[in-house]
Amino acid sequence: MTEHTPGPRYTPLVQSLPQTVPFVTPETLERQRGAAFRARLGANENGFGPSPHAIAAMAREAAEAWKYGDAECHELRMALAAHHGVPAEAVLVGEGIDGLLGNLCRLMIAPGDRVVATRGSYPTFAYHVAGFGGEMLHEPFKGDHENPQALIARAKSSNAKLVYLSNPDNPMGSWHDAATVQAMIDDVPDGCLMVLDEAYIEFAPEGTAPPLDVSDRRVIRFRTFSKAYGLAGIRCGYAIAHPDLIASFDKIRNHFGMGRVGPAGARAALADQDWLAHVQAEAATARARIGDIAIAAGLQPLPSAANFVTVDCGGDGDLARAVLAELAARDVFVRMPFTAPQDRCIRISCAPEAELAVLEAELPAALAAARASVQQAQARDATAP
């Protein structure tokens, strides 16, 4: 008989963390349900696909996959620097915004350090903060918009090290204009860094993003190839900030986190701005189509500057969760905000017409079934002893 031995000795911090995953993937849900979705409308992916030039570049680079990737992602950094008109030393490439946020928290957050964000905003950021022992402080949405003034005030009063804003916002699709965002940057307190997540910026109206100023030490900006460029599967994002901050990531990042195929595709995608314009037009058409589908079903679509539309179901979180479940039962994958009162909504990603046609066909029945199930639950609660 093998003598019993203790298991791994986890750190006290890890032992204190819940067993959680920020997002359950549609593949996981499909395995659980034993069937594929007919409409994949929940992950904010770009179903219109990447540039054909990006696909060809990745195919060519696949033959070189026996080599490690360039730890500096030099060619992609140079291309991004030229595209944005900033020095290459102000650009960092990483494993999507998620990976870069994790490295930022590793760089900045020690146990007990405070971080300010909007309650219900991007949960992966909170996941990383918790993973390094930080204390997350939340401010509520204001009219389904993140509240820059409240976020800054909380950062000042709490001596926070990081303050996070996504613009455009996920999950609501709302946005602030460049002047509002710049005013927030200008008001960041000493010793605090503003984390500006611009994952959806390519879908936003002109005048949403303030000018890039890499001499400003108060802000780091994150962008991605996962959304408008249609390359979510290669996990390639980038940060733009003061060169000193960018250089500090070299102390802690995974220097071989990027392979060869992804950056090659990203470079080709960046060079094909005509395809980007095509995707932007398709997304605008899809946003309008989703809005029409929602209105026809008696629901209210919210204005969006992203590649999704958040739809008010006209009730509370129980109703929205029931709608989500009924759509899933009809092979339609969507997601929803997870904190009240934004959880009255569901969030529907832009997609090609074939998938939106499935949504149009299934939403009325899903909504009716959801309302009936909520009414039945309320009746049971009312008669319970």
pTM recorded for the entire structure: 0.95
Phi, psi of 252 (to 5 degrees): -135, -10
Q: Which of 246, 271, 296 is the last residue of a domain?
A: 271
Residue 378 has pLDDT above 90, yes or no: no
Check: CB of residue 225 under 8 Å from CB of residue 97. no
Residue 12 lies in a domain: no
| Model pLDDT for residues 205-260, shown as the tens digit of each residue | 999 999 999 999 999 999 999 999 999 999 999 999 999 999 999 999 999 999 99
Give burial (CB, 10 Å; 0-12/13-18/19+) of 148: buried
Provide the phi-psi class of 152: left if phi over 0, else alpha when psi is between -120 and 50, else beta. Answer: alpha
CATH number at residue 65: 3.40.640.10
Nearest to 146 by CA among 85, 194, 91: 194
Q: Are residues 199 and 344 located together in one domain of the fold?
A: no
Residue 337 lies in a domain: yes
Q: Are residues 224 and 343 located together in one domain of the fold?
A: no
335: pLDDT confidence band, cut at 50, 70 and 90? very high
Instruction: Give the structural domain span for 358.
Output: 24-48+274-383
381: pLDDT confidence band, cut at 50, 70 and 90? confident
Q: Which of 224, 253, 271 is the last residue of a domain?
A: 271
Residue with tokens 């928290």: 105
Residue 384: the pLDDT is 73
CATH number at residue 369: 3.90.1150.10
- Tell me what the mean pLDDT of segment 146-175 comes to: 98
348: pLDDT confidence band, cut at 50, 70 and 90? very high
**CA dihedral of 364, 367, 373, 375, whole degrees rounded to 10:** -110
| Model pLDDT for residues 88-122, shown as the tens digit of each residue | 999 999 999 999 999 999 999 999 999 999 999 99
| Model pLDDT for residues 32-60, shown as the tens digit of each residue | 999 999 999 999 999 999 999 999 999 99
- Tell me what the mean pLDDT of segment 21-32 comes to: 90
Name the domain count of the chain: 2
Q: Are residues 343 and 376 located together in one domain of the fold?
A: yes
Residue 385: the pLDDT is 73
Q: Are residues 36 and 171 located together in one domain of the fold?
A: no
Residue 192 lies in a domain: yes
Check: CB of residue 290 under 8 Å from CB of residue 309. yes
Q: Are residues 225 and 93 located together in one domain of the fold?
A: yes
Q: Are residues 59 and 134 located together in one domain of the fold?
A: yes
Residue 21 has pLDDT above 90, yes or no: no
Residue 2 has pLDDT above 70, yes or no: no
Q: Which of 271, 286, 319 is the last residue of a domain?
A: 271
| Whole-number Å distance between alpha carbons of 383 and 385 | 6
| Model pLDDT for residues 260-317, shown as the tens digit of each residue | 999 999 999 999 999 999 999 999 999 999 999 999 999 999 999 999 999 999 999 9
Q: Is residue 319 classed as helix, strand or coil in its secondary structure?
A: helix
